[in-house]
């Protein structure tokens, strides 16, 4: 969705409501395509005495896998975004949205950037997920696998001292 910035500033309406679904199946975060369903964008573009502000709530259904046990995960992630909008690069605040060369505010681009910056690097099926056995691959959340643990070779000198006694 794109909004003409100067047309909006000259319009007598004080705000433009924003509500739409944005498909983002190609958006890649940490090597993964997490958004198999459309992301819902809700918010408004407001103005007061020549200053525009955008406020968005982004509701994203996420499909990923647990970083420890590789079980599929589905949940809803919500992001909030608020910033001033300007076309003046010299008076621009560091957190402002800058209007592009064509005079448009690209809401889709804002949503994509917001999601990339707001998503975690990894997700877990539960906080205490035990993961998979590195030897046999059994899900350790379902119980122990029975594999014998290899001793850490860095402690072999200490183990030799204990074996002498």
DSSP annotation string for 131-142: -B-TTT--BGGG
List pLDDT tens digits, range 84-109: 877 766 555 556 666 667 778 888 88
| pLDDT attached to residue 92 | 54
Single pTM value for the model: 0.74
Nearest to 32 by CA among 71, 62, 68: 62
Sign of CA dihedral 87, 91, 94, 95: negative
Helices (H) then strands (E): counts for the chain: 3, 9
pLDDT score for 96? 66
Q: Is 107 helix (H, G, I), strand (E, B) or coil?
A: helix
Provide the pLDDT for residue 50.
Answer: 67
Decide: 36 and 9 in contact? Cβ < 8 Å.
no
For the chain, residues with pLDDT lower than 50 are none
**Residue 73: predicted pLDDT:** 93
């Amino acid at each position: 969705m794109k909004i003409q910035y100067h047309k909006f500033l000259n319009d007598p309406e004080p705000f433009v409501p924003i509500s739409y679904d944005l498909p983002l199946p190609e958006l890649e975060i940490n090597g993964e395509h997490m958004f198999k369903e459309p992301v819902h964008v809700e918010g408004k573009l407001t103005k007061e005495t020549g200053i525009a502000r955008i406020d968005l709530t982004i509701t994203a259904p996420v499909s990923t896998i647990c970083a420890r046990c590789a079980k599929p995960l589905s949940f809803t992630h919500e992001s909030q975004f608020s910033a001033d909008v300007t076309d003046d690069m010299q008076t621009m605040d560091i957190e402002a949205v800058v209007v592009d060369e064509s005079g448009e505010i690209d809401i889709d681009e804002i949503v994509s950037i917001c999601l990339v910056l707001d998503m975690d690097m990894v997700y877990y099926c539960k906080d205490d997920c035990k993961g998979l056995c590195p030897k046999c691959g059994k899900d350790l959340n379902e119980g122990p696998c029975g594999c014998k643990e290899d001793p850490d070779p860095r402690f072999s000198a200490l183990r030799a001292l204990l074996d002498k006694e």
